[in-house]
Amino acid sequence: MTTLSLTVNGRQVSTEIDPRLNLADFLRDRLSLKGTHLGCEHGACGACTVLMDGMPIRSCITMAASCEGVEITTVEGYDDDPLMARLREAFREEHALQCGYCTPGMLATAHDIVSRLDRPDEDEIRAELAGCVCRCTGYRGIVRAIERCIAEKSA
Amino acid sequence: MKAPALEFHRPDTVEAAVAILAESDGAARILAGGQSLVPMLNLRVAFAETLVDIGAIRELAAIEDAGDHIRLGARVSHARIEDGEADGHCSGMLRHVARNIAYRAVRNRGTLGGSLAHADPAADWPVAMIALGADVEISGSNGNRKLPVEEFMLDVFTTVLQEDEMLTGICIPKVSPDLRWSFNKMRKKAGAFGEAIAAAVHDPESGVCRVVAGSSAIGGPQRFAMLETALHDGDVDDDAIQDALTQTIGPLDRYEMQIHTVCLRRAIEEVRT
């Protein structure tokens, strides 16, 4: 066992973990934060994407033991984030989800696209989304939701 | 799948990391961003009884101007390079290469040193670093050494690193502002590994001229001396590229020959025009 102290959704967590545990399993099984979804478990599908110190990362290929001292935000922890609130609205307005399995990862990725990039066009948005797989929507609604938030940002 | 049981260490100095490597008798591996190693551990195609996480070693995250070269600590992430923290060198080539590696979520964790030490034959940084004439710095029980990236990689997933050694930094020589570079990657989807990668660099001031290609099909990065001479003299056609590929790598099937030839041709044309 190894010790781990980190902040998850604003809450300080200090615990002992099995060193082979990945961050996604730690969040889901140890903290019962089931909103972080596991798809491929090797970094290809993007469903498990969460924010580490505000930046999107793959929680399935991040060892939990490597997360000492960091701040993790999962889909359960976005309540006080105005951009995330707007993204959620836009996702609803544009029908950017159907089954919802990819949505936690899509939101983390969309948040990064809107906040990090200045005025990305559709091609850039699609390239940025290439690491997140959605099997329901065909991406059109997701791209439109992100475009909406970008347009509002620079309005 | 999940990684098998393993021991985990998170030292805060290079000396402590090297000491753990030396004690583990080859059963330990360095964990940097883990964006290749962790999935490979999960899929049970890579093995480690002990992981030595270098994420707490602060000096390995430094980027410094060292006179005639820029030095990047081994665990500098692709995202930091993409965001321009190493800019002002190589006319934007570092930024371009970083931006086209995998996805932003992977680039936030994945590191330059990790990419070189992992030695995936289809990785981008080995090709780019050889094209730029970069050196790697290595620390081990018996002290430090420095050698060109070109000599660092021995084969597919194989480097010169000994069991008690780790890569600590990458030194990229400064180039003239007139440096012309090209970095071409053929892939089926944004974010995927390249099926063929080619880089060309030409510095009219120093006369430096390098042509490098890499991919799984050709077994990792290769320099093409014939094409470098031809580029310098100003005359490269597809026949010359195919001759160079055949002589350097051996026979390739038609598809591989085609994509590597086109990739190299584009790289060479871009530095010439």
Tens-place pLDDT, residues B211-220: 999 999 999 9
Instruction: Say if residue B38 is in the same domain as residue B66.
Output: no
State which amino acid sits at residue A24.
A
B189 in A contact zone (CB under 8 Å):
yes
Q: Is the pLDDT of residue B36 over 70?
A: yes
Question: pLDDT tens digits, chain A, 155 residues: what are they?
Answer: 999 999 999 999 999 999 999 999 999 999 999 999 999 999 999 999 999 999 999 999 999 999 999 999 999 999 999 999 999 999 999 999 999 999 999 999 999 999 999 999 999 999 999 999 999 999 999 999 999 999 998 76
A61 in B contact zone (CB under 8 Å):
yes
Residue-level pLDDT at B177: 84
Q: Which two tokens stand for residue B159?
A: 């480097």
Burial of B61 (0-12, 13-18, 19+ CB in 10 A): middle
Instruction: Say if residue B81 is in the same domain as residue B22.
Output: no
Q: Mean per-residue pLDDT for B255-264?
A: 98
Higher pLDDT, B5 or B176: B5
Nearest CA in chain B to A68: B56
CB atoms A56 and B189 under 8 Å = no
Phi/psi for B53 (5° steps) reads -75, 120
Say how far apart CA B8 and CA B12 lie, in whole Å. Answer: 13
Contacts of A63 in chain B (CB under 8 A): 3, 8, 31, 34, 38, 51, 53
A104 in B contact zone (CB under 8 Å):
no
CB atoms A63 and B38 under 8 Å = yes
Per-residue pLDDT tens over the stretch B227-258:
999 888 877 899 999 999 999 999 999 999 99
Burial of A135 (0-12, 13-18, 19+ CB in 10 A): exposed
Closest by Cβ to B108, choosing from A42, A57, A63:
A57
CB atoms B39 and A52 under 8 Å = no
Confidence of residue B272 (pLDDT cuts 50, 70, 90): confident
Residue-level pLDDT at A26: 98
Residue-level pLDDT at B87: 77
Instruction: Say if residue B28 is in the same domain as residue B110.
Output: no
Q: Average model confidence (pLDDT) for chain B?
A: 95
Q: How far is A95 from chain B (nearest CA, A)?
A: 24
- Residue B256 maps to a domain: yes
Residue after which a domain boundary falls, among B119, B147, B173: B173
Alpha helices in chain A (DSSP H): 23-25, 82-93, 103-116, 122-128, 140-154
Contacts of A61 in chain B (CB under 8 A): 34-35, 38-39, 42, 109
Number of neighbouring beta carbons within 10 Å of residue B4 = 12
Closest by Cβ to A42, choosing from B31, B43, B102:
B43
Q: Mean per-residue pLDDT for B71-78?
A: 98
B58 in A contact zone (CB under 8 Å):
no
Instruction: Say if residue B63 is in the same domain as residue B168.
Output: yes
CA B205 distance to own-chain centroid: 25
Residue-level pLDDT at B62: 98
CB atoms A58 and B5 under 8 Å = no
CB atoms A63 and B2 under 8 Å = no
Instruction: Say if residue B140 is in the same domain as residue B207.
Output: no
Domains: count for chain B: 3
Residue after which a domain boundary falls, among B138, B173, B208: B173
Contacts of A128 in chain B (CB under 8 A): 103-104
CB B159 within 8 A of CB B29: no
Instruction: Say if residue B151 is in the same domain as residue B83.
Output: yes
- Residue B27 maps to a domain: yes
Check which CATH number belongs to the domain holding B34 and give it: 3.30.43.10
A62 in B contact zone (CB under 8 Å):
yes
Residue-level pLDDT at A153: 87
Number of neighbouring beta carbons within 10 Å of residue B145 = 12
Residue-level pLDDT at B89: 66
Domains and CATH numbers, chain A: 2-77 (3.10.20.30), 82-154 (1.10.150.120)
pTM: 0.96
State which amino acid sits at residue A95.
H
CB atoms A49 and B105 under 8 Å = yes
- Residue B236 maps to a domain: yes
Residue-level pLDDT at B219: 96
Check which CATH number belongs to the domain holding B252 and give it: 3.30.390.50
Q: Is the pLDDT of residue B267 over 70?
A: yes
- Residue B1 maps to a domain: no
Contacts of A65 in chain B (CB under 8 A): 8, 10, 53
Residue after which a domain boundary falls, among B130, B149, B173: B173
Residue-level pLDDT at B70: 94
Q: How far is A17 from chain B (nearest CA, A)?
A: 11
- Residue B225 maps to a domain: yes
Instruction: Say if residue B43 is in the same domain as residue B79.
Output: no
Instruction: Say if residue B97 is in the same domain as residue B28.
Output: no
Closest by Cβ to B42, choosing from A41, A116, A131:
A41
- Residue B217 maps to a domain: yes
Instruction: Say if residue B62 is in the same domain as residue B168.
Output: yes
B87: three-class secondary structure by DSSP: coil
User: The domain containing residue B47 runs over which residues?
Assistant: 7-53
Residue-level pLDDT at A46: 98
State which amino acid sits at residue A109.
T
- Residue B118 maps to a domain: yes
Instruction: Give percent above pLDDT 90 in chain B.
Output: 89
Instruction: Say if residue B234 is in the same domain as residue B216.
Output: yes
- Residue B2 maps to a domain: no
Q: Which two tokens stand for residue A144?
A: 């439109």
Contacts of B109 in chain A (CB under 8 A): 57-58, 61-62
Going by C-alpha positions, the residue among B269, B24, B50 that lies closest to residue B141 is B24
Check which CATH number belongs to the domain holding B119 and give it: 3.30.465.10
A66 in B contact zone (CB under 8 Å):
yes
CB atoms A43 and B35 under 8 Å = yes
Instruction: Say if residue B107 is in the same domain as residue B149.
Output: yes
Say how far apart CA A64 and CA B48 lie, in whole Å. Answer: 17
Q: Is the pLDDT of residue B88 over 90?
A: no
Instruction: Say if residue B81 is in the same domain as residue B108.
Output: yes
Task: Say how many residues make up chain A.
Answer: 155
